[in-house]
Amino acid sequence: MSRALAALAALALLAGCGGGEEGNEQPVVFAASSLGEAAPAVDPGAKIVLGGSNDLAAQIRDGARADVILSASPKPLADLQADGLVEEPVAFASNRLVVVAPRSNPGKVTHFADLARDGVKLVLGAEGVPVGDYAREALELAGLGAALDNVVSLEDDVKGVVGKVALGEADAGVVYATDVAAAGDDLRSYRISDYFQPEIAYYAALVSPGSEQGRDYLERLLGGEGQAALRIAGFRPAPS
């Protein structure tokens, strides 16, 4: 177990010691896939449902039971709020993009610009999926639109991108920096310059009508315990 994961586990245990009264119903939290390590550490008694932000929003729209939704982008929550399905979203974290390649690195990818090189097999999040939209924004900022011609697979969430690259089904992908540690030794990662980084903001919202359990989880997320869990998992503070 890595130091980060061990620290998260310890934090989760401590958070559990301060939980609510016995018998209280625990919150159901729909969380973006990239929050797979941090979301449970905020409240180890919560039921965490992971998935793509858009897919989770669609489930809420279809009537799925959830108390809180944590999205890797503000748009899915803005759409839900416009329809009266969630309360006012609040930013709670940010992230960065990195290039990832398989450990064997058959495509010899070592730089963001290599994604546009002929023959490189690239996997991205699908359009509308936050990590895919952020990746396209970064490629546009860098003048690397030609890289889109190298895309061999479009995934429904960031875990799909990580999985395809780790299995060697693509030469490279663009994911969040926080997903690299979770992949262990299966991936190499390469920095993307600050000049080409989109603003990545994670937002949380209570699902209407807001439950007491959901409000407790949101308070933890925005408070010291939640922010510590996010820092340990590699997330950055919410954009100001």
Q: Identify the bridge partners of residue 151 per DSSP, sorted by sequence position.
A: 122
The per-residue pLDDT for 106 is: 95
The per-residue pLDDT for 185 is: 84
| Domain 97-196, CATH among 3.30.300.20, 3.40.50.720, 3.40.50.140, 3.40.190.10 | 3.40.190.10
What CATH class is the domain 3-94+200-232?
alpha beta
Q: Are 215 and 24 in contact (CB under 8 A)?
A: no
Q: pLDDT tens, position by position, for the chain (240 residues)?
A: 444 444 444 444 444 443 333 335 899 999 999 999 999 999 999 999 999 999 999 999 999 999 999 999 999 999 999 999 999 999 999 999 999 999 999 999 999 999 999 999 999 999 999 999 999 999 999 999 999 999 999 999 999 999 999 999 999 999 999 998 777 788 999 999 999 999 999 999 999 998 999 999 999 999 998 999 999 999 999 987
Which of 64, 5, 56, 8 lies closest to 31, judged by CA?
56
Cα-trace Rg, the chain = 18
Q: At what angle do helices 74-82 and 53-61 cross, to 10 degrees?
A: 10
The per-residue pLDDT for 25 is: 83
The per-residue pLDDT for 18 is: 38
The per-residue pLDDT for 24 is: 54
Domain spans in the chain, listed from the N-terminal domain onward? 3-94+200-232, 97-196
Question: Would 3-94+200-232 and 97-196 be classified into the same CATH topology?
Answer: yes
Which of 203, 192, 198, 54 lies closest to 125, judged by CA?
54
The per-residue pLDDT for 14 is: 41
DSSP character string of the chain: --HHHHHHHHHHHHHHHT---TTPPPPEEEEEGGGTTHHHHH-TTSEEEEE-HHHHHHHHHTT---SEEEESSHHHHHHHHHTTSB---EEEEE--EEEEEETT-TT---SGGGGGSTT--EEEEPTTSHHHHHHHHHHHHTT-GGGGGGEEEEESSHHHHHHHHHTTSSSEEEEETHHHHHTGGGEEEEE--GGG----EEEEEEBSSPPHHHHHHHHHHHSHHHHHHHHHTTPBPPP-
